[in-house]
Structure 1
Amino acid sequence: MQKVATPVFSFNKEFKPVFFSNARYKHLWGGRARGGSHCATDYYLHKITQKEYFRGLFVRSIFGDIAGSLFQDFKDRLSAQVEAGNLNEDDFAINDSKKTILYKPTGNTIISKGFKTASNKSSAKLKSIAGITHVLIEEAEEVDESDFNKLDDSIRTNKIDNIEIIMLFNPPGKNHWIMKRWYNLTPAVNSVGEEIEGWYRATPKTNPDLLSIHTTFLNNLKNLNAKTISKYHQYGDPESPMYNEDFYYRDVLGLVSEGAKGRIYKKVKPCTAAEYDALPYEPFYGLDFGFYPDPAAFGEHKRHNNTLWSKQLIYEQDLTNQQLADRIKQVIKHPNSPIYADSAESKSIQELIDERLNVYGAVKGPDSIDFGIKKLQGLTWFIVEDSKDFWFENQEYKYQIGSDGLATGKPIDKHNHLKDQARYAVVTHEIYGGGERQTGRRN
């Protein structure tokens, strides 16, 4: 066997435990420019060049995204070691199309996989992961819990004593499965000890299988230039033209928000069921059809001038139209009030009408989603506090995030079923006020 080379690493002291901890789950997370991916790929370069058996896996939500992130980062780490004379480039066989790496002196390897297909709409089959000892997941906050569990359950080699899954992620919302599974949240406070409304600090739950390292750019100043450091400070300065409170708290300081990054509805307020029931305004209803996996979502609403009150009535999977009609009859208190349903489901609407329900097709058009969202954003909106699925969607329904880390204004079609029925109801009721049945489109 050839002599095994020994790379020399110079890493942030905050990440030293990564090289020595036997925890199964290692979280390197926090704000931008913290150096987490640099440390993780350094660690993989260290592991692949050791004598001990190592089979590494790079994984992201979409396989194709690995090329410009983990795979390139690893090659950058390797180039630095080659230039320093610590490693021989000929000892590595790198396949750029398959995103695989072989270290010839030991036979240790790294492969790459994606959780989703290129469309990001269906799960990919994670094949050829038998014998994997180490997993490195980038942007773990974008991974569904079910996909993570399948991967976690599949890694069970007996080649080594301690299997490791390193997760790199920016802070998700407080209802994200990562937060619920591994962290406790306490209200964040500012420099003078005042609570920052809607923001939390996360501390790891007691768990011997978890190593959690939370860092920000402040832990990585020696590797950042003065302009970058100044820019991050300006995001948090109300006097700066670059001031962006949400970006500063989440992406710079690494705090956990009340909801997901890019959240669409940020100013919704709670009210009690008693307060809602006491309102003297005529109700109207919204309906978003669903079956599986999407639920049928049905809500009741009251409006006065520029204020809207809403409550969840139905949020269920696997309901046929007959069963849905029966459930609506069970929960509706004002059967003569209008129900505004997704007009794309004309057959379903007719079946509910045949069940003597007062259903109207919602007004929709090419820009109806954006129009409806802006309409709801312009209202003072209260949701009954025990409408748990409504509140979950309020925190998780979000815009797509662009390469600059900012919201694009394009909603992600997820966690929006109760939000959609509210949009149908408010827009259509404002236009037609419960008049003749309408299935037309907004001009």
Structure 2
Amino acid sequence: MSKIVSIASIVGKGYRDIWNFKGRYKVIKGSRGSKKSKTTALWIIYNMMKYKDSNTLIVRKVFRTLKDSCFAELKWACVQLGVANKWKFNTSPLEATYIPTGQKILFRGLDDPLKITSIAIDKGFLCWVWFEEAYEIMSEDSFKTVVESIRGKLPEQLFYQFIVTLNPWSDKHWIKKRFFDTTDSDVMAVTTTYKCNEFLDQGNIDELEKLKETNPRRYKVAALGEWGITDGLVFENWEERYFDFREIIRVYPDIKAVFGLDFGYTNDPTAFFCGLLDLNNKNLYVFNEFYEKGLQNNQIYQKIENMGFNKEKIVADSAEQKSIDYLRMLGLNRIISAKKGPDSVNAGIAFLQEFKIIVHPNCVNFLNEISTYCWDKDKFDKQINKPIDDNNHLMDAMRYAVEEYMKKKSYRFKL
């Protein structure tokens, strides 16, 4: 016996036009808790069951991030729609199959471009693509490569659609210029906020609304979904580039491996920075990271051990001496406290501004932070020589990591 469900009651309010739009590009930027990702997951499951020849590709910049994000959201959507028994989710390979027809949801990362451009579908047509956390995609060319690979004539009932969801951290991002600063009938570009999510619990609402008083600038981005204004970037001396860190070590045997750790838990992530410091050529290669909320100390240790860096010297935030002592007891024998000091933030920034910072594309959280890390402003909207203390956890970890290599001199930083 078929079960009848109300789509309106499951999706909730605020998304009617977005749900019904059939144009080529559907771009949804929004605040935390605006249900943009959950609504997209529901749309994909519902419409794949509605259109029997449709197939979907899910894309994030880094493949390993898909399992705990889009893959999990789509499984949740199946449960919400009461159709979990009609779908099979596999982790190897990562894919979902609609059992009655064999239609597929495929998952790919932009870190493996060959797999992106060589997708074969056994049944039907690949017609929908969801780019999740699209702010991570720094290059418009990477986006175009995927779009241009999805082509061919579709049956009358099907339509191509590229769904882009993101948190709008930087107003310099190419997505703003391409989709939000132009008018095109084939593009729906919208902003959603937590206020259209009637399923959000009061604790989350209170946390977001508290930002009105404590951090109005962050409130506009994190709660209202407005573009982050990135005038006055602290670091402009960086680029995103693929490299093999083992090859860098082979070519530059005198290069220094540097590791930094910034602690977080409930509201802020724990951030682990991995870099290679080339003092001779003034290059800093950022090659690995982790960035996660809610980690206990034993979980931090396990992550560092799994990455293979538990024997390395790690410089950690001295405000968490108890955590440092515990991590040392667990096996991080070379972890030490950052020295800090009254002017350590600006001194560290000035030192790092002397280097070309080369960031591996897989370090998506580092890229997000460095591209939005700005000098603060006073009440007259004038820049001051102090960076904004927000979204800077890997920036702090990077400073800790290079601390011992800073010469004992005064640094002049660039505003």
TM-score tier by shorter-chain length is 0.5 to 0.7
Residues of 2 paired with 1:253 and 1:289: CA distance? 29
User: What SS does structure 2 have at the residue aligned with 1:116?
Assistant: coil
User: What SS does structure 2 have at the residue aligned with 1:207?
Assistant: coil
User: What SS does structure 2 have at the residue aligned with 1:13?
Assistant: coil
1:234 pairs with 2:225? no
Match of 1:329 in 2: none
1:375 pairs with 2:347? yes
Residue pair 1:258, 1:395 contacting (<8 A) in 2 also: no
Greater Rg, structure 1 or structure 2?
1
Match of 2:63 in 1: 63
| Change over 3 Å in CA distance of 1:7–1:105 after alignment to 2 | farther
TM-fit CA distance, 1:429:
11
Q: What amino acid maps onto 1:135 in structure 2?
A: V
Q: What amino acid maps onto 2:129 in structure 1?
A: V
Match of 2:226 in 1: 255
Q: Which of 199, 206, 212 matches 2:189?
A: 212
Write out per-residue CA displacement over residues 354-397 of structure 1, whole angstroms, 9 at most, x where no aligned residue.
xxxxxxxxxxxx999x9996227689x9xxxxxxxxxxx99836
1:164 pairs with 2:161? yes
Match of 2:13 in 1: 13
| Change over 3 Å in CA distance of 1:411–1:60 after alignment to 2 | farther
Residues of 2 paired with 1:223 and 1:73: CA distance? 15
1:34 pairs with 2:39? no
CA RMSD in angstroms comes to 4.5
TM-score, structure 1 as length reference: 0.54
Match of 1:396 in 2: 371
Residues of 2 paired with 1:93 and 1:293: CA distance? 35
Residues of 2 paired with 1:49 and 1:132: CA distance? 14
| Matching of residues 82-231 of structure 1 within 5 Å | 82=82, 87=83, 89-116=84-111, 123=113, 125-126=115-116, 127-128=118-119, 131-144=125-138, 145-160=140-155, 162-184=159-181, 205-220=182-197, 222-231=198-207
Write out per-residue CA displacement over residues 155-174 of structure 1, whole angstroms, 9 at most, x where no aligned residue.
11323452101111001312
| Change over 3 Å in CA distance of 1:151–1:132 after alignment to 2 | same
Residues of 2 paired with 1:397 and 1:224: CA distance? 27
TM-score, structure 2 as length reference: 0.57
TM-fit CA distance, 1:407:
2.7
| Matching of residues 354-365 of structure 1 within 5 Å | none
Residues of 1 paired with 2:350 and 2:164: CA distance? 38
User: What SS does structure 1 have at the residue aligned with 2:395?
Assistant: strand
Residue pair 1:7, 1:46 contacting (<8 A) in 2 also: no
Residue pair 1:249, 1:255 contacting (<8 A) in 2 also: yes
TM-fit CA distance, 1:39:
0.7
Write out per-residue CA displacement over residues 99-120 of structure 1, whole angstroms, 9 at most, x where no aligned residue.
2111122332211111115xxx
**Structure 2: 5+ residue runs without aligned partners?**
244-277, 283-313, 316-337, 354-367, 375-389
Residues of 2 paired with 1:20 and 1:27: CA distance? 13
TM-fit CA distance, 1:96:
2.5
TM-fit CA distance, 1:344:
2.1
| Change over 3 Å in CA distance of 1:408–1:21 after alignment to 2 | same
Residue pair 2:27, 2:179 contacting (<8 A) in 1 also: no
Residues of 2 paired with 1:412 and 1:177: CA distance? 28
Q: What amino acid maps onto 2:226 in structure 1?
A: L
Residues of 2 paired with 1:138 and 1:209: CA distance? 20
Q: What amino acid maps onto 1:53 in structure 2?
A: D
Residue pair 1:265, 1:394 contacting (<8 A) in 2 also: no
Give % identity.
20
Match of 2:328 in 1: none
Residue pair 1:92, 1:103 contacting (<8 A) in 2 also: yes
Q: What amino acid maps onto 2:281 in structure 1?
A: E
**Paired positions, count:** 283
Residues of 2 paired with 1:429 and 1:226: CA distance? 50
Residues of 2 paired with 1:394 and 1:101: CA distance? 33
Write out per-residue CA displacement over residues 189-221 of structure 1, whole angstroms, 9 at most, x where no aligned residue.
xxxxxxxxxxxxxxxx2111211221111111x
Residue pair 1:171, 1:250 contacting (<8 A) in 2 also: yes
User: What SS does structure 2 have at the residue aligned with 1:28?
Assistant: strand
Residue pair 1:56, 1:132 contacting (<8 A) in 2 also: yes
Q: What amino acid maps onto 1:67 in structure 2?
A: K
| Change over 3 Å in CA distance of 1:411–1:104 after alignment to 2 | same
Match of 1:265 in 2: 234
Residues of 1 paired with 2:21 and 2:27: CA distance? 12
Residue pair 1:57, 1:110 contacting (<8 A) in 2 also: yes
User: What SS does structure 1 have at the residue aligned with 2:115?
Assistant: coil
| Change over 3 Å in CA distance of 1:80–1:431 after alignment to 2 | closer
**Structure 1: 5+ residue runs without aligned partners?**
118-122, 185-204, 238-242, 269-287, 295-341, 347-365, 382-392, 400-404, 414-422, 434-443
Higher relative contact order (CA 8 A, sep 6+): 2
Match of 1:314 in 2: none
Residue pair 1:136, 1:165 contacting (<8 A) in 2 also: yes
Residue pair 2:97, 2:105 contacting (<8 A) in 1 also: yes
Residues of 2 paired with 1:289 and 1:19: CA distance? 39
| Matching of residues 237-316 of structure 1 within 5 Å | 237=213, 243-259=214-230, 265=234
| Change over 3 Å in CA distance of 1:183–1:33 after alignment to 2 | same
Residue pair 1:58, 1:112 contacting (<8 A) in 2 also: yes
Residues of 2 paired with 1:167 and 1:432: CA distance? 42
